[in-house]
């Protein structure tokens, strides 16, 4: 019964459009909040709030790089769920490739500078 409760908690954590969008981006690799903000168009406090829910559920892990925090999916079940529910090839309204957004983080800045 405990595994059913854990599965229900995982699904509850994902059961929000913004959290599904965040997980969809993180399915491609780690990203910082400023990158998620630029990519999704939501404000930083809102994204941070959604990330907190995903972290509390144990679905995300983080890595610090100076003042930036990079998030990644920590539970492989999230990717499996996304693959079933929202296949990459049919993702409705999927934005441009991840590294083409205007983000100032160390991961994106060299790409943004190259395109400027």
| Lookup result for tokens 């409705």 | 92
Task: Please tell me the predicted confidence (pLDDT) of residue 91.
Answer: 46
* CATH (residue range 2-115): 1.10.10.10
Which helix (H) or strand (E) is 63 found in, with range?
Answer: strand 60-65
Instruction: Judge contact between 36 and 47, C-beta under 8 A.
Output: yes
For 2-31, what is the mean pLDDT? 93
Instruction: Judge contact between 22 and 84, C-beta under 8 A.
Output: no
Question: Higher-confidence residue: 93 or 72?
Answer: 72
Domain map (residue ranges) of the chain: 2-115
Task: Please tell me the predicted confidence (pLDDT) of residue 2.
Answer: 76
pTM: 0.79
Instruction: Judge contact between 39 and 25, C-beta under 8 A.
Output: yes
């Amino acid at each position: 019964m405990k595994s059913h409760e854990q599965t229900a908690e995982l699904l509850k954590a994902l059961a929000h459009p913004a959290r599904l969008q965040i997980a969809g981006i993180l399915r491609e690799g780690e990203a910082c909040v400023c990158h998620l903000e630029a990519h999704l168009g939501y404000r930083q406090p809102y994204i941070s709030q959604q990330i907190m829910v995903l972290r509390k559920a144990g679905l995300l892990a983080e890595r610090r790089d100076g003042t930036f925090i990079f998030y990644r999916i920590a539970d492989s079940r999230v990717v499996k769920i996304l693959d079933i529910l929202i296949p990459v090839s049919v993702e409705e309204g999927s934005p441009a490739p991840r590294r083409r957004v205007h983000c100032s983080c160390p991961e994106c800045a060299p790409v943004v500078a190259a395109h400027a």
